[in-house]
Chains A and B, each alone.
Chain A
Amino acid sequence: MEEQMAKIDLSNISHTYNPLDPKPTYALNPFSMTWENGKRYAILGPSGCGKTTMLNIVSGLVRPSKGEILFDETPVTDLKTEDRNIAQVFQFPVIYNTMTVYDNLAFPLRCREFTKEKIEERVKAVSDTLNLSSFLNSPARKLTADQKQLISLGRGLVREDVAAVLMDEPLTVIDPDLKFRLRRNLKEINEQYKTTLVYVTHDQNEAMTFAENIIVMDQGEIVQVGLPKDLFEKPKTTFVGYFIGSPAMNIFQSTVSSDHEVKINDTTIKTNSNLGNLKDKNVKLGIRSEFIELAEREKSNTVKIKLTRVEDFGNFKLLTGKMGDLVIKSKVEREKPIPDGELNLYFPPEKCCVYSDEKLV
């Protein structure tokens, strides 16, 4: 079969659901992005931030108010969904109740008039991958919710020629163990068939483990696109810092005191950021709880805190302390002895991120 996978370009796309309004609110603010052929992408963001709208625009269920979509440089903005060669899996299983599992899986191929032998071969391959082989002749409605979701997934994967498989939080209804296995399966499918996979989720762990590239969205805006490592270590905005990582990034109000230093309350913290033109301005200092270290004694770049809580998570301890009215969280190794009362925490300068107007300096 001819390979039809495509590079997907979203060029200046924006969308509003109330275009006739004189002051429309935008579900998606103008953005441009390219999805490379054969890569795995995760779109991450809180509910209602425009993730699903973006998928629907790519699959053609929604026509963008402005902008253009190109598959391999060919504009498809006005192409109908059924002609677009996109597979989409929704959050809740959508199955054809009146058909058997086999007919469900074969449906996309039948609609596209594949030969009987080809259909049989593909359905068999997909049902093997998804552990559905023993149910092929059962009515689809008799299956459990997670099996039904596997069928939805299977209908997306059964076509070898899709430009991309779009998944809208597809594993919500599936139990954790199977979820883990399925994510691995999806990765394997991606590596084997080089199908572009786009995965919408609000679960950062899912996004981090699944995707090569993560797109973080907030309020119809693409906030950051990058590798999991970048998002974790250098969040471009305070929102990404809050949203990615557990616990969220520590973020403190501070004032710039010199070219590389900020002041939190009365403690001076050195950073690697160049703050020359922000002198005396109010900024925010962000640091991951993973990067804060316990210090034996007061030295440069340490802050003194009053320990308020220690939580044991099994593989690490989470310390919560207060410096004045600021709350600081730090992850430390489980074995480390924690002194009572006051302790010093060290902020490595290279791990400190400074945010001016919520954006990374």
Chain B
Amino acid sequence: MSKLYTFLKYFFITFWTVFVVAPFLWAVSTSFKDFQSVNSKVTYIPWLDFEPTLEGWRVLIKSPAKGGVDIVEPYFNSIFVTCTASLISIVLGTLAAYALSRFTFKAGFVRNNDITFFFISQRIMPPIVLSIPFFIFLSTIGLLDSLLGLVVVYIVLLMPIAVWIMVDFFNRVPKELDETALIDGCNPYQAFYKVVLPNSIPGLIVAGMFCIIFGWIDFFFAFILTFTEVQLLPVKVVALNSSITPWWSLSASALVSVAPLIIVAFIVERYLSKGNLSGALK
């Protein structure tokens, strides 16, 4: 029985690993191919099956004038927009979440839970519903097709995630911790940043990770709210496609697009596995 269990366990782990890793390997190998190697017979191993070339990668940094697509600028745009919006969302979201977790709000029939739900309900709507109001809003304040405009929109999209995760996290940080800090002589602000916040780092990291992921992968709003001045990575990658699908450069751009997320995942995983997620009280 236990042998069968072990076998099944390893079988499924292996299966899943192949399922996850194979597309990456396929993309890596494809990114080094040229038109010839992609469109002739099926090939896998460089140098044996096909002659590797860096053409797929070179296109990404060559300027359009020289027949390239230049994803360097959109890449940095994406990093800037994602990081700025995530940071602001985390800061504002954490403060909002702390208030929602610690104070009781009443306005008519509205209570704390309703406010939290109001935040997250922004994400329940299909993005298409938001696109027209956002478009009109940004064009009114003159931020259409600008990095700042995108940051504003992304804060609206990311802050609910931060609030939602952090409310839940703060609710699990016992209020006795804040009270103890007050008794020990902190004022409420010191209690928050000296005691509660350091205890909430795992929550901040999880919230930050979600914000970065959702900010980084967004295509829809980046596509609708920008035209020529500013472009984000997902839009640029899609724009790579043409009548002849350039599998090599698409693969290369896919790899560089997921690279930051993989790095983030590794950092977060290391931090979380330290066991810091366990609560302050036991």
Would A96 and B185 be within 8 Å (CB), given that A88-B179, A145-B282 are in contact? no
Residues of chain B contacted by A87 (CB below 8 angstroms): 183
CB-CB under 8 A from B199, the residues of chain A are 96-98
14 of the cross-chain contacts (CB-CB < 8 Å) are A60-B182, A61-B179, A80-B187, A82-B186, A86-B183, A87-B183, A88-B180, A94-B174, A96-B177, A96-B280, A97-B198, A108-B185, A111-B185, A112-B185
B176 at the interface (CB under 8 A from A): yes
Task: Report which residue of A61, A81, A88, A108 has the largest number of chain B beta carbons within 10 angstroms of its beta carbon.
Answer: A81
Answer whether residue B156 sits at the interface, using C-beta atoms and an 8 A cutoff. Answer: no
Pick the residue among A81, A98, A148, A155 that contacts B182 (CB under 8 A): A81
Binding site for A on B (CB under 8 A): 174, 176-177, 179-180, 182-187, 190, 195, 198-199, 201, 278, 280-282
CA distance A112 to B282 in the complex (A): 28
- Count of interface residues, chain A, beta-carbon cutoff 8 Å: 26
Chain A contacts for B183, CB-based, 8 A: 59, 61, 81-82, 86-88, 108
List the 10 shortest-distance A-B pairs measured between CB atoms, nearest first. Answer: A111-B185, A108-B184, A98-B198, A81-B182, A94-B180, A97-B280, A94-B176, A90-B176, A88-B183, A112-B185
Contacting residues of chain A (48-103) with chain B, CB-CB under 8 angstroms: 59-61, 80-82, 86-88, 90, 92-98
- Contact for B278 among A94, A111, A112, A141, CB less than 8 A: A141
A107 beta carbon closer than 8 Å to chain B: yes
Chain B residues with CB under 8 Å of A94's CB are: 174, 176-177, 180, 280-281
Specify the chain A residue showing the minimal Cβ separation from B183.
A88
Contact check: which of B185, B190, B198, B282 meets A148 at CB < 8 Å? Answer: B282
Question: How many angstroms from the CA of A97 to the CA of B197 in the assembled complex?
Answer: 11
Q: How far is the CA of A86 from the CA of B199 in the complex (A)?
A: 24
A interface residues (Cβ-Cβ under 8 A, vs B): 59-61, 80-82, 86-88, 90, 92-98, 107-108, 111-112, 141, 145, 148, 152, 155
Whether A111 lies near B184 (C-beta < 8 A) is yes
A168 and chain B: residue at smallest CB distance: B176
In the complex, chain A residues whose CB is within 8 Å of the CB of B186: 82, 111
| B179 contacts across to A, CB distance below 8 A | 61, 81, 88, 90
**Cβ-defined contact, A111 with B190, below 8 A:** yes
Among A60, A82, A90, A145, chain B packs the most CB atoms within 10 A around the CB of A82
B176 close to A92 (CB less than 8 A): yes
- How far does the Cβ of A148 sit from chain B's closest Cβ, in whole Å? 7
**Quick one: which of B199, B201, B278 has the most chain A CB within 10 A?**
B199
A155 to B186, CA, bound (A): 13
Cα of A325 to Cα of B183 in the assembled complex, Å = 54
What residue of chain A has the Cβ atom nearest to residue B191's Cβ?
A82
Q: How far, in Å, is B191 (CB) from chain A's closest CB?
A: 8
- CA A107 – CA B186 in complex, angstroms? 9
Query: In the complex the two chains form, what is the Cα distance from A92 to B176 in whole Å?
Result: 9
Residue numbers in B under 8 Å from A155 (CB-CB): 180, 184
Q: Which of B176, B199, B201, B278 has the most CB of A within 10 A?
A: B176
Closest CB in chain B relative to A165 CB, distance in Å: 10
**What chain A residues lie within 8 Å of B182 (beta carbons)?**
60-61, 80-82
Instruction: Identify the interface centre among B177, B180, B184, B195: most chain A CB within 10 Å of its CB.
Output: B184
Residues from chain A with a CB closer than 8 A to the CB of B184 are 107-108, 111, 155
**In the complex, given contacts A82-B186, A94-B177, what are 14 additional A-B residue pairs having Cβ atoms less than 8 angstroms apart?**
A80-B187, A81-B179, A81-B182, A82-B182, A90-B176, A92-B174, A92-B176, A92-B282, A94-B174, A94-B280, A107-B184, A108-B184, A141-B280, A155-B180
A33 to B242, CA, bound (A): 85
Are B187 and A82 closer than 8 Å at their CB atoms? yes
Residue from the set A92, A96, A145 with the largest chain B CB neighbour count within 10 Å: A96
Residue of A98, A108, A148 most packed against chain B (CB within 10 A) = A98
Residues on A with beta carbons closer than 8 Å to the beta carbon of B190: 111
Tell me the smallest distance from the CB of B174 to a CB of chain A, in Å: 7
Complex alpha-carbon distance, A316 and B42, angstroms: 92
In the complex, what's the smallest C-beta–C-beta distance from A164 to chain B, in angstroms? 11
- List residues of chain B with CB within 8 A of the CB of A152: 180
- Complex Cα distance, B179 from A145, in Å, reads 19
> In the assembled complex, which residues on chain B have CB atoms less than 8 Å from the CB atom of A108?
183-185
Bound complex: CA of A101 vs CA of B183, how far in Å? 18
Cα separation A65 to B183 with both chains bound (whole Å):
21
The interface residues of chain A lying within 8 Å CB-to-CB of B282 are: 92-93, 145, 148
CB closest residue in chain B, given A113:
B185
Chain B nearest Cβ from A97, distance in angstroms: 5
Q: How near does chain A come to B232, taking the closest CB pair, in angstroms?
A: 36
B190 CB to closest chain A CB (Å) equals 7
Report the bound CA distance from A112 to B185 in whole Å: 6
Could you tell me the distance between the alpha carbons of A155 and B181 in the complex, rounded to whole angstroms? 10
CB nearest to A107 among chain B residues: B184
CB nearest to A145 among chain B residues: B282
A56 to B41, CA, bound (A): 78
